[in-house]
């Protein structure tokens, strides 16, 4: 088992696809539906642009990482050491709270089978989507 800790911000309820959408998917959904105030929209747009510029998009490295048939339920987790990325999530959480979208912080040292990893994040298939490894 890895000593690395991982952090994820996600919905409290599952989506129609059966996973817990992450903070960015939740905020992006509000933006797509036109529900953000002008101030929230400016924060969201600037925040997404900052994240796009400051950490890798796993699908740029491996376009199949979120392929549902190959990696069912794959979701991204920050490495706990990526404080500079995690601390910027608060503004997204404020937007979600303003729209009564429940979101929680989850921490784990073993969130699932890692299908992608870089310096600041992993994408995993949660253990509940597969058989848990022997001994866990």
The per-residue DSSP string of 42-110 comes to HHHHHHHHHHHHHS--HHHH-TTTT-TTTSTT-EEEEETT-HHHHTTHHHHHHHHHHTT--EEEEEES-
pLDDT for 37 beyond 90:
yes
Give the pLDDT confidence score for residue 135 in this predicted structure: 41
Is the whole model's pTM more than 0.85, yes or no?
yes
Average pLDDT over residues 97-113: 96
pLDDT digits (tens, 9 = 90+) for 9-18: 999 999 888 8
């Amino acid at each position: 088992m890895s000593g690395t800790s991982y952090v994820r911000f996600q919905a409290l309820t599952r989506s129609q696809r059966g996973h817990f959408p992450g903070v960015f998917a939740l905020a992006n959904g509000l933006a797509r539906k036109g529900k953000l105030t002008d101030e929230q929209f400016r924060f969201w747009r600037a925040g997404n642009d900052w994240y796009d510029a400051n950490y890798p998009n796993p699908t740029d490295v491996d376009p199949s990482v979120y392929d549902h048939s190959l990696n069912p339920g794959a979701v991204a987790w920050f490495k706990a050491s990526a404080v500079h990325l995690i601390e910027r999530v608060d503004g997204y959480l404020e937007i979600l709270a303003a729209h009564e979208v429940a979101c929680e912080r989850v921490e784990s040292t073993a969130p699932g089978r890692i299908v992608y990893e870089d310096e600041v994040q992993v994408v995993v298939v949660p253990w509940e989507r597969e058989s848990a490894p022997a001994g866990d």
